[in-house]
Amino acid sequence: MIQPPELYFNATAQSYLNNLNERLSFSKLFVLTDTNTSTKCLPALKELLGHSDFIEIICEAGELHKNIKTCSAIWSTLTEHRADRNALLVLLGGGVLTDMGAFAASCYKRGIRFLNIPTTLLAMVDASTGSKTGIDFEGLKNHIGLFSSPVATLIDQQFLKTLDQRNLKSGVAEMFKHGLIYNREHWKSLKEQHLNPEILIADSVAIKIDIVNQDPTERGLRKILNFGHTLGHAIETHFLETPQPLLHGEAIALGMILEAYLSHTCGSLAKEELDEITTTLCTFYELPALSDADRKSIVPLLQHDKKNAANTVQFVGLKQIGEALYDVLYSAEAIDDGFDYYNGITCR
Ligand SMILES: NC(=O)c1ccc[n+]([C@@H]2O[C@H](COP(=O)([O-])OP(=O)(O)OC[C@H]3O[C@@H](n4cnc5c(N)ncnc54)[C@H](O)[C@@H]3O)[C@@H](O)[C@H]2O)c1
């Protein structure tokens, strides 16, 4: 059984760190950072930790480094510093770092404790809750991984001060998704507050946790959190290999437009709601057109989606804004029409 992690926000997250050793009594403390969070976020963490000594492990930033090679380097450093099973690994970073660091911690000596301190909006509202850990493998997103929970997730919004606008907007995509699949009011609030999404973080996290708690290991309902991700992950993977990679949230925004179109043409999503979703997302994000060559590379990647069963690609559809369905099948022709629809959108 996956235990949902304890969650602390802002002041309570800070006081958790002030008393870290008394709370968790670890043998050694390690802090995993990337080349950006090491300079931008570690100074604030050091202040909160006070006199606690720790060993920093720095990895390269970005999705291209979310792989077994980086994990191997993390395991080597832990071994070199004789981390035992009572060591604690603090994960200070965005979703790439929390996914990969959690995976590395969960495998080291069959599992050491780890603590999530998400520093991007995307990691705060999505990646650092829900206990999915993992790395990319042979070009496939999150292909190797396991469910494993941190001892706690500490969401301290002070870390967002140094995050650039593009990454902030990338995080809003997962918040939009939470509204679209589960809570119409959240979608509406975000449309009004999208320039100030920080005030809706706790609401967005609450939606994610409510869904995860009903189905921790994704046998049914939890699949709806993958809305936009079936095509979005394939799109993200495809563009990762190009000179213009997309951020995770941008790829998911594009995936949500395509999957909303499919929900309309092959399901019950009303045309006005499709238009509302498309207009909102394509005015908020700068998204690329998709050439025939892009399509040819993206479509085969759908075969590797983790939700697939019996050789079929299973999608999440929207019944209406605020309500989603899972295990939905679409024909290859419908998917192709979706790309035509997307390329024809005038607001892009
Ligand atoms: N486990 C899950 O449930 C889940 C859910 C959604 C997404 N994800 C994963 O999350 C990843 C995307 O996460 P992300 O968007 O946070 O990407 P990321 O971790 O690559 O962070 C984005 C960039 O911001 C930098 N950064 C991080 N914090 C910063 C700060 N406070 N100030 C300045 N720069 C900072 C990072 O170094 C990086 O360059 C993807 O790999 C995706 O698959 C996982």
Q: Are 231 and 258 in contact (CB under 8 A)?
A: yes
Query: How sure is the predictor about 199, in pLDDT bands with cuts at 50, 70 and 90?
Result: very high
CATH 3.40.50.1970 applies to domain 6-162: yes
What burial class does residue 59 get, using C-beta atoms within 10 Å of its C-beta: 0-12 exposed, 13-18 middle, 19+ buried? buried
Helix (H) or strand (E) holding 59: strand 55-59
Give residue ranges with CB within 6 A of ligand 1: 34, 36-37, 40-41, 61-63, 66, 93-97, 99, 119-120, 122-123, 126-127, 130, 132, 141-142, 159, 162-163, 167, 170, 174, 247-248
Q: Are 251 and 258 in contact (CB under 8 A)?
A: no
Q: 270 CA distance to ligand 1 centroid (A)?
A: 33
Ligand 1 atom nearest the C-alpha of 133 is: 1
Domain with CATH 3.40.50.1970 in the chain: 6-162
DSSP for residue 19: T
pLDDT in tens, 232-254: 999 999 999 899 999 999 999 99
pLDDT in tens, 213-232: 999 999 999 999 999 999 99
Q: 39 CA distance to ligand 1 centroid (A)?
A: 16
CA distance 344 to 44: 46
CATH 2.60.120.380 applies to domain 165-344: no
Enter the pTM of the model. 0.97
Domain with CATH 1.20.1090.10 in the chain: 165-344
pLDDT in tens, 144-188: 999 999 999 999 999 999 999 999 999 999 999 999 999 999 999
Q: Are 235 and 255 in contact (CB under 8 A)?
A: yes
Q: Are 146 and 106 in contact (CB under 8 A)?
A: yes
Tally of CB atoms within 10 A around 189: 18
Evaluated on CA atoms 208, 163, 159, 248, the torsion sign reads positive
CA distance 91 to 99: 9
Q: Residue of the nearest CA to atom 18 in ligand 1? A: 94
Q: 161 CA distance to ligand 1 centroid (A)?
A: 15
CA distances in angstroms from 48 to 12, 23, 87, 101, 170, listed in the order given: 12, 14, 19, 21, 27
Which residues are paired to 117 by β-bridges? 92
If one residue of 96, 224, 239 were mutated to test the ligand 1 pocket, choosing by the most ligand atoms within 8 A of its CB, it would be 96
pLDDT at 1 over 70: no
Return the ∠ at Cα 289 (arms to 229 and 341), rounded to 5°: 75
CA distance 206 to 278: 25
